[in-house]
Amino acid sequence: MPPHNDAPSPAGSYRQRLANLSLGTYPSSGTGAVQSPGHSPFYSSSLDSPPVDFQDQNMHRPLVPGVYVPTVAFFDKDSEDLDLDTVASHAVRLAEAGVAGITTQGSNGEAVHLSHNERMAVTRATRHALDEAGFNALPLIVGCGAQSTREAIELCREAHYTGGDYALVLPPSYYRSLFRTESITEYFHDIASESPIPILIYNYPGAVSGMDLDSDAIIKLSKHPNIVGCKLTCGNTGKLARVAAATAASTLADPGSGFMCLGGSADFTLQTLVTGGSGIIGGLANIAPRACIKIVSLYESGKLKEAAKLQAIVARGDWAAIQGGIVGTKSALESYFGYGGYARRPLPRPKPTEADEFARGFKELVTLEKSL
């Protein structure tokens, strides 16, 4: 992990492992207008062609156990155009806090509100900002789920072209009633076989009409060489424990197979680590990255009692985030950090009384965050 202003990390810690990564291996994503991957000499729009191999152009930054943040997308308050300056500065703020990696185009990133070109603009701006700030070893995961296999593969290619290292893929659900038993496993297998970047399976029943992948399905898919992890926003720690054990998932103490078994919410960060998981991809870290990271550090140091106390505060803050969704998260960022703005329509803009209520819900957590 890149240097930061916290106290020195203990020898062998995941922070130190990140700090030891070479910063000279990865090319900067560069500047300028976003281009379609169709204009890249390395991109093929045909699904009949073999998978794109970018290994010579863009080596994948390794994933290590810790806290990953699905970042917020920011918009101009009047026009709703992308605010790429804030996208960039927010990513650097998170990196400076010491997160293990960043995810764009997730639920917090309003991916469903963005065009393909806008998605690429956010990913490119994030990668470029991290590189310019000296965090060019920090991995970037990009949400690439779609309703068709073809579009999901296209999103993976676009993610790679604009600086993404990994793709986070939700299963499709619109035509769920027509799927065969094997349709979902074939979906992930086909994407993994065609994607130029490794993929992580995203299990989030709330976003896909209640579809909930079981541990058997995830374990089976984990055998594909280009499937390197999963995010379990289902909150089922029993499932997480089964997947982590079966895949020999990477942990703070043991790199294992390298498979990343990640919880999908900050409210069970400690539980994820205790059951053999690799860390979390948690939206709450947009507001309180240091608090989330502190739980990981305390656990790694064997201070379970202190970690549990901190987890309780984080869980209360995450309940506010769960209740308010992206509307509440952006409102809290605006109240406490002076930026955040609003979600795109048709999501509502909070009334002053609602903004005050969101701020109260996060107050305990933000107080903790600012003390770290």
71-115 pLDDT tens trace: 999 999 999 999 999 999 999 999 999 999 999 998 899 999 999
Distance between CA 173 and CA 368 in Å, rounded?
Answer: 39
Please tell me the distance from the alpha carbon of residue 274 to that of residue 245, in angstroms, as a whole number: 12
pLDDT of residue 284: 98
Q: Which DSSP helix (H) or strand (E) runs through 116?
A: helix 116-132
Distance CA 9, CA 173 (A): 43
Q: Which residue type does 278 have? A: S
Q: Residue 236 — very low, low, confident or very high, per pLDDT cuts 50/70/90?
A: very high
Task: Name the residue among 11, 130, 18 with its Cα closest to residue 64.
Answer: 18
The three-class DSSP label of residue 185 is helix
Question: Position 104: which residue type?
Answer: T
Instruction: Return the pLDDT at 165.
Output: 98
CA 110 to chain centre: 13
105: which residues sit within 8 A by CB, 6+ positions away?
Answer: 111, 114, 119, 122, 123, 142, 143, 144, 159, 168
Q: How many CB atoms lie within 10 A of CB 57?
A: 14
Average pLDDT of the chain, as a whole number: 87
pLDDT at residue number 26: 32
Average pLDDT over residues 187-202: 98
- pTM strictly above 0.75: yes
Strands 166-169 and 140-143 turn out to be: parallel
Nearest alpha carbon to residue 122 among 60, 69, 61, 74: 74
Among left, alpha and beta (phi > 0; psi -120 to 50; other), residue 210 is left
SS3 262: strand
Per-residue confidence (pLDDT) for residue 28, from 0 to 100:
36
Confidence of residue 208 (pLDDT cuts 50, 70, 90): confident
Give the residue-averaged pLDDT of 249-259: 98
Catalytic entry in 77, 220, 223, 231: 231
Nearest to 199 by CA among 177, 229, 164: 229
Could you tell me which of 111, 113, 104 has the C-alpha nearest to residue 70?
104
Tell me the backbone φ, ψ of residue 152, rounded to 5 degrees.
Answer: -60, -40
pLDDT score for 172? 96
Q: What is the pLDDT confidence band of residue 209, given thresholds at 50, 70 and 90?
A: confident
List beta partners, residue 229. Answer: 200, 260
pLDDT at 4: 31
Q: Are 226 and 60 in contact (CB under 8 A)?
A: no
Active site (annotated) includes residue 231: yes
pLDDT of residue 31: 32
> Tens digit of pLDDT for each residue in 34-81?
333 433 333 333 333 333 333 334 478 999 999 999 999 999 999 999
Locus of tokens 């990343």: 260
Q: Quote the distance between the C-alpha of residue 219 and its chain's center.
A: 21
- pLDDT tens by residue, 271-311: 999 999 999 999 999 999 999 999 999 999 999 999 999 99
pLDDT tens figures, 308-338 = 999 999 999 999 999 999 999 999 999 999 9
CA 46 remoteness from chain centre: 28
| Average pLDDT value for residue range 347-369 | 98
Angle at Cα 75 formed by Cα 72 and Cα 76, nearest 5°? 150
∠ CA 85-143-109 to the nearest 5 degrees? 40
Q: pLDDT-based confidence at 15, cuts 50/70/90?
A: very low
| pLDDT reading at 220 higher than 90 | yes
